[in-house]
Amino acid sequence: MDRDKGEIFTDRATRKSLGEMLIEENLITAEQLEKALELQRGQGGKLSELLVNQGLVKAEELAAVLSVQLNVPLIDLKRHQVQPDALRLIPEDMARKHTLIPLDVVSDSLIVVMADPEDIRTIEDIKAQSRMRVEVALGIPSDIEQAINLNYRSSGEIDKQVSQFAPPVKEAAEVTSELIARTPIAQSLDLLIAQAVRDRASDVHLEPQEDRLRI
């Protein structure tokens, strides 16, 4: 959902509080909310994180309520595959710092799943980094972190293996199946196939270019 700052701040002024909505959904009691707010005043931090850390609300339950409160879609990253075209637009350090994962590119928009879809400054940074319109969605923080670990690691391992490709040798050498299995190209293909299986891809396209291999 691509919204300007004014609309978001207007929403904040008119919508129900998170605590009020959690009570209405019978997820916490008024007494539990008051104790949580008192704890928040003492140690700071976000109420949502405190409620989960204290075991008062499950992360999935909290995310469902936040999605309604913030009027942004909730994305289950266990059911959605991160697309490589989106992943390459945002560096890993940025994704980790702000707990977000670029999910997909649709038309001229980058779909980004965030733990905090109200982080206006980060959204502006994403726009500047990707040079695209940004549609934000909400995700469970632990799921986002898991997606970051899985997708950036897989992408990085493939790049590392591809960079190790050796130039053709001039002298012929005996090639054994064991030697082939240890070569960077074989290891890269293993990584590609494993990633394709995780993504449930029907096929894998390799496009050789002058100084790189487009996948």
The pLDDT profile of the chain, 215 residues, written as one tens digit per residue, is: 555 544 544 456 567 899 999 999 999 999 999 999 999 999 998 999 999 999 999 999 999 999 999 999 999 999 999 999 999 999 999 999 999 999 999 999 999 999 999 999 999 999 999 999 999 999 999 999 999 999 998 655 555 544 555 455 444 445 455 544 555 555 555 566 666 656 666 666 666 655 555 56
pTM of full prediction above 0.75: no
Q: Which domains does the chain have, with CATH numbers?
A: 5-70 (no CATH), 84-145 (3.30.300.160), 153-214 (no CATH)
The set of residues, in sequence order, having a beta carbon less than 8 Å from that of 133 and lying 6+ positions away, is 2, 108, 109, 110, 127
Closest CA to 134 of 4, 1, 11, 7: 1
Return d(Cα 121, Cα 124) in angstroms, integer.
5
Question: Which among 11, 12, 30, 10 has a CA at the least distance from the CA of 20?
Answer: 30
What is the distance, to the nearest Å, from the Cα of residue 82 to the centroid of all Cα atoms in its chain? 8
